[in-house]
Chain A
Amino acid sequence: KQEVTQIPAALSVPEGENLVLNCSFTDSAIYNLQWFRQDPGKGLTSLLLIQSSQREQTSGRLNASLDKSSGRSTLYIAASQPGDSATYLCAVPVTGGGNKLTFGTGTQLKVEL
C-alpha cells in the first residue's frame, strides 16, 4: 500500500527566503506526482504535475523535482512571499481503477513579513 509522507509538518520562514518542501513515497512505481496548495478551509489548487519521465517541472517561482528510485520529490519555492502561506500537499496516483490519488500529510507553510 502506497504511503506518502511530507516533512516538515510545519515551516515558518521570513519573506524572501528560498525554501524546500519534501515528499516521500514508499512505492516507487508511480507515473506522476502532483503538488497542490490548500488555503485554510478551501479546496486544493493544482500547482505542478511532474511525470515519472521528468526530473523537474517549473512554474514561476516553483520548481518540483522527482527521484523515483529514492521515492522522493521536492518542491522548491524561490523568494517566498506572505501570499505563499498555505498548506502544500503532494499526491501520487495509485494504478488501476481510475487512478485515485494518495495524499501526503501536508506541510503548513507560513511566510512572515
Chain B
Amino acid sequence: EPEVTQTPSHQVTQMGQEVILRCVPISNHLYFYWYRQILGQKVEFLVSFYNNEISEKSEIFDDQFSVERPDGSNFTLKIRSTKLEDSAMYFCASRDDREVAFFGQGTRLTVV
C-alpha cells in the first residue's frame, strides 16, 4: 500500500541551526501538509501546499519556516533558525481525492 515517508526519523540540532525535514508524499496526491505535535499536546496544522504554492498557513508558520517541493516527489519543511520551542514531532501528510489524509511516521525534532 502506498505510504508517506519521512526522513530523518529523529534529528537533534543546536539552537539557531537550520534544519530541513523531508517527506515523500503519495505519488498521485495533490495536497500536501505539515503538522506538528509538541509532546503531550494536540496535533496542530502548520501549512498546506497545492499546485506548487502555499494554500494556507497557520500563525505558527512564521518567517522562520518555509516549504518547498523541489522536484516531483519530495516535499520539504525548512526551519531557518531553530528555537527550543520548535522541539516537536513533525508530520507530513498528503490527501487523496476521497479527502482521506495519509500521514507519515513523523520526524522527532529535538532542539538543544
Contact = CB atoms under 8 A, between A and B. Distances in A.
Interface of A: 31-32, 34, 36, 41-46, 49, 51, 89, 91, 93, 96-106
Contacts of A100: 33, 45, 48, 56, 58
Contacts of A99: 31, 48, 95, 99
15 contacts: A43-B6, A43-B104, A49-B99, A89-B43, A91-B43, A97-B48, A97-B56, A98-B31, A98-B33, A98-B50, A100-B45, A100-B48, A101-B33, A101-B45, A104-B42
Given A44-B43, A46-B103, A102-B45, 18 more contacts: A36-B103, A43-B106, A46-B101, A46-B102, A49-B98, A89-B43, A96-B56, A98-B49, A98-B56, A100-B48, A100-B56, A100-B58, A101-B33, A101-B35, A101-B43, A101-B101, A103-B43, A105-B42
Nearest to A39: B105
A23 to B, nearest CB: 13
Interface of B: 6, 31, 33, 35, 42-45, 48-50, 55-56, 58, 89, 91, 93, 95, 98-106, 108
A47 to B, nearest CB: 10
Contacts of B104: 43
A99 B22 CA distance: 22
A46 B104 CA distance: 11
Contacts of A96: 56
Contacts of B102: 46
B69 to A, nearest CB: 14
Nearest to A89: B43
